[in-house]
Each structure stands twice: as C-alpha cells, then as structure tokens.
Amino acid sequence: MGWVAQAQPVDTTYLKDLYDRTISFNEEKLDSIEWVAAYIEKQSSSLKFGKGKILANRLRGYHSELSGNYENAIRYYLFTLSASRESSITEYEIAALSDLAIVYSAIKQPEKAKDVYMQSLRLVEKNGEVSSMISSYCNIGAIYNLLNMPDSALYFLNVAHRLINQHHHEESLPFVYNNTGNAYFKKQQFLKALGYFRQNKLIHDKTRNSADLWVDHLNIGDAYIELKKYDSATLHTDSALQLAISLESKSKEADTYALFAKLYEKLENYRLAYGYQRKWYQLDTALVNEASGRTIVELQERFNASDRENRNRLLQAEVEHEKLRNKTLSSLASAAVLIGLLVGLLLVVYRRSNRKLVEVNQVIVRQKEKLADLNYEKNSLISIVSHDLGSPFASIAMWSQLLEKDNSLTPEQRNALARIRESSLNGERLIRNILEIEKQGTRHEKLELEEMDVAAFTDHLVSTHLPAAQRKEVKLQTIRPQLPVYLLTDQHLFSRILDNLVSNAIKFTFSGKSITVSVREDKDHVELEVADEGIGIPKEEQHFLFGKYAQLSARPTAGESSTGLGLSIVQRLVNELNGTILVESEPGAGTTFTVRFSK
C-alpha cells in the first residue's frame, strides 16, 4: 500500500482525510482498514498528533465489528469514547456512542443500544449539525423497529425525512427508506414496506455496494414471503446469500439462513426449513455466546468505573477548592473574637456531622453500585438463557408439526403430538413471561404518549380475542359510548393491559357464559372494565392476586396453562401509566377488573 505514503506530504490534514475515506469501507476491504489504523497511529506519533490515536482505535474497532469480533470492537470503542471525553472532542464522542450502539444491536441488546443512541442524540441536538441529526434520528428509528415499536420508529424517521428535504441531504435517503420499510413491515403493511425496499435497491444498483444490496435483497425477500409470492422471495433470498458469502460476513450469512428457514416453513417444506434453522442457530450462537456476553459486560463495567473515577477526581478538586475558601472566610471572621470563637465552634460541630454523613453516604453508594452490578449480571444471564432456550422449543414445535403430516399416525399418536406441540408453545410462553417479570425492576423506558380513541381501539383489540372465545363457546362483547373517548396514553402498554385481562377472563370462564368489556368516561377519568361470569376468586386470596408467580386455588376451566404472571405484569403496566386497578369477585359469581386512568 505504498500509495498511501506517496499520495501527498504526510501531515495532520492528510491523516484526517485518509481516516474519513477508510471509515466508509465495508467487509471487502478489511485488510485495508487494519493497515490504515496502524499507519495513522505510527504517523501521528511522529507528528505529535494527539487525536491520531483516537482515529486509529476507532478504525480498529470498526475492523473488529466487521469481522464479528464484538468483544474487541467494544474494547476499542470504549477507549475512543473515554479519550474523546477527556479531550472534550464532542464530534468524536458522538461517533463513539453511535459505534457502541451499533455493536449492542448486533449482539441482541437493543435496550442498551437505545440508551446509548439517546446519549448521542442529546449531544447531536446540542451541536446542531444537520447530517449528524439525520443519522441519529434514523438510528433511533432503527432501534425502535428492533424493539417492535414501529409507531415510535416512524416518528423519528419522519423527523429525519423532513430534515433531509429541508437541507437537501439526499445521500441519507437510503437509510430512511430502509428503516421506514421495516417499520411498515412491523405494522404488517407489507406492500407499503416493499415500495420503500425497492426504492433503496434502485439507488444501490447504481452504487453497487455489496453490503447495501445484501440488505435490500433480504428485505425484499422477506416482504415477498409475507405477500405469498414465493418465487420472487426465493430469487431475492438466493441473491442475499451469495452477497453474504462474497462479503465473508458470518452475521449476514446467519440472517440469510434465518430467512430461508422462514421461507421453507411457509412452503411447508419442514425438512429444509429445519436444516436452515440449524445453520442459522450455529452461526448466530457462535457470534454471540455466553462467554463473550460476560466479557462485554466486564468491559462496560471497567469503563464505567474509570469514568466514575475521573468524575470523582474533578469533584475532589472542587471540594478542596471549597475547603480553602472556607478557611479564608474563617480567618477573616476571626477578627471579631467572640463571634469568631462561636463560628469556629459551630464549624467544628458541622464538620464532624458532615464527616459522619459523608461516611454513611459512601457506604450507601457502594451498596447501591454493588446491587446494580448484581442486577445487571442477573439480566445478562436472563437474556442469554432466553436466547439458548428459545431455539430448542422452536425446533420441538417444528418437528411435531412435520410429524403431523404423516397420514399413517393413529389417533393416539396424533393426540400425543398435539400435546407435545402445545407443551413446547407453553414452555416458550412461560420463558417470555418470566423474562418480563424479572426485568421489570430495571426498565426506565420513556412512555410514547399519544392521544387516541380508546373506545375504538378497545373494539379492535377485543375482536382479536374472538376466535379464542368462540373455540370455548364463550360470548365476548364490548359496551362503549358511540362518541370517541380520547385519552393521552401509551398505545403499546394499553394494549398489553387489555390483552392480559381479556385472555385471563377467557381462561377462567365456563362454556356458555359471557365476558363483557366496557369503556366509560367522566370529566376527569376514563375507565376500562373487564367482567366475566367465571369461577370467581375467594376473598382471602384476592390480596395475592397481583404478586409474582401467584398460584391461587382457582384453575382455568378447560385445563389451559396458567403461570401466575399475567396479573403481575398488568399491575406494573397500569402503574407506569399512572392508573389504578381494582378487583371485585365472588366464588361462582365471576370477577370484574376495573382499570382507571386520569385524563
């Protein structure tokens, strides 16, 4: 690579230009990225260019990220973040935060990625640089897609689109199109999503960037699967796999195998579907395993400890300065003997009390940090367990479905297969519920508040439960005002509250009975009521109703599974929306849950 040194005299401007070109390379130029990182560090040392080390380590992190070595990637990115903060270089700090968020997304930690992106967005908005603002809004939109919150994603993506139109930054359109298509895909508006994916492919057909084209083919293939156009889906998924192999990207190859598994499952070719699922699982597990997860947590904690130490040094300097100032004031006050003596006496008492208070606070802080560390380790373990247990349950369900196709099975064998499939689904649902409960203490999400017609929305949600009610011969009805009932709330949390209450009512209601969902409002409140004619709950057990893993004497009327988690989740969601929930029940007379929200 002699051309690097011969292109022009080596100075700091040249090194910055070289870095700017290299950071846009993809997997096809991995060796070049590593070489340029070493070159910039060596030349920066000769030129006494302090920022050069930050640039070189960011390139090394980018090289590790493209290679799938996420532990090293995070190590390098944390170094660039720390060095950027110490040097007060906001531009590099923003870049380091974005890099970390991308890696957290890749290792299946979207919540952590969202938190880091939000830190980056606050700096970007303060800076006011348009292209960085567009990129940040797009990134947050992408993360909300991963969190299955498409409406929130579309909000940030629309902001980015407006900025692009206002400031003529058309080069950012592909990123907006891709994530907007994904948001509509999440909303099951597949034809609309396909339009955005096709626009992206038209742009990338001109630039011929293999990594971008891989994304386009994968997205288009997925949309065609949902639209049941399987020939077109196969064509684009094949193209995505060829691009992933040519890029030598294991993560892209794993994602493509996952789409093939979905395609062949839709085509009812379960043997091929299972084969591709195994290929996906082997690659995906190799990329993000338990050991690397623990190492990444340790890296993050070491960085946090270092950051706290730096902040503490600054705080100590301020404390020393304040002590010096107090001594000066005390010396001046000593001119008045009697008053000075009294002040000195009070100061001694104050310092003794303050010293004891500081010692107590330090103990509390240490205990809090230790509890936070233990809680973080627990949640990391929960995430790893969910990842490793999810695939076996999916495999059990797929194989049982494949065996059900065998026409030679006896009724007893078919009954056994149905029970196996039901047990695997119940196991998968139990894992999700346990994760929901165990993680509730660590969530600090911002509510996505919007004004919505809760009466119409309740009608829609209740209609999704009609098939389950009809299978059990339970009458499910809605009573609501004719006029809209508006409430400022989080649509996602509201839907989860109602879904849990209605599904619970169906479980505990006998065939031939009724369930009524009512919406009411007065001047200051909106009430949601779910009343069933089920078996009821004894009064002495009602105070256990909202506890974790509560198992009461009442059992589902048709032998359905019950983990005792649903109502605990409901109470937490109601509390997050600043509401209240009440229960009225008599054994044999049914149960009524009333949720009340302030307008």
Helix (H) or strand (E) holding 327: helix 290-333
Q: Which CATH architecture has domain 449-598?
A: 2-Layer Sandwich (3.30)
CA angle, 188 then 565 then 285, to 5° = 60
SS3 content of the chain, % helix, strand, coil (to 5): 75, 10, 20
3-state secondary structure of 446: coil
Task: Find residue 598's DSSP bridge partners.
Answer: 525
- Residue of 141, 194, 195, 189 lying closest to 163 (CA atoms): 141
Cβ–Cβ < 8 Å for 71, 292: yes
Cβ-proximal residues to 415 (8 Å cutoff; 6+ apart), any chain? none
Residue 540 DSSP symbol: G
- Asked whether the beta carbons of 402 and 272 are under 8 A apart, the reply is no
Q: How buried is residue 227: exposed, middle or buried, by Cβ count under 10 Å (0-12/13-18/19+)?
A: middle
Instruction: Say if CB 574 and CB 580 are below 8 A apart.
Output: yes
The C-alpha atoms of residue 570 and residue 544 are separated, in whole angstroms, by 14
CB atoms within 10 A of CB 444: 6
Residue appearing with tokens 């609501």: 480
Nearest partner of 398 among 278, 255, 218, 222, judged by Cα:
278
- The whole-angstrom separation of Cα 79 and Cα 302 is 11
Q: How many CB atoms lie within 10 A of CB 545?
A: 19
Rounded CA gap, 93 and 85, in Å? 6
Return contacts of 280-286, CB within 8 angstroms, 24+ apart: 280/254, 280/255, 281/391, 283/250, 283/251, 283/253, 283/254, 283/257, 284/254, 284/258, 285/387, 285/388, 286/250
Q: Contact at 8 Å (CB) between 113 and 104?
A: yes
Domain-wise residue ranges, the chain: 347-444, 449-598
Two tokens at 164? 């692009």
pTM, 2 dp: 0.44
The CA distance from 268 to 100, in Å, is 40
Would you identify the CATH topology of the domain 347-444? Helix Hairpins (1.10.287)
Average pLDDT per consecutive 10 residues, the chain (599 residues; last block may be shorter): 53 90 85 92 90 92 89 90 90 90 86 89 88 90 91 93 92 92 94 94 91 94 95 95 90 91 90 88 60 46 54 58 62 64 74 71 70 61 58 72 80 82 71 60 64 94 91 94 92 92 92 95 94 90 72 60 70 91 92 94
Measure the CA–CA gap between 221 and 234, rounded to whole angstroms.
7
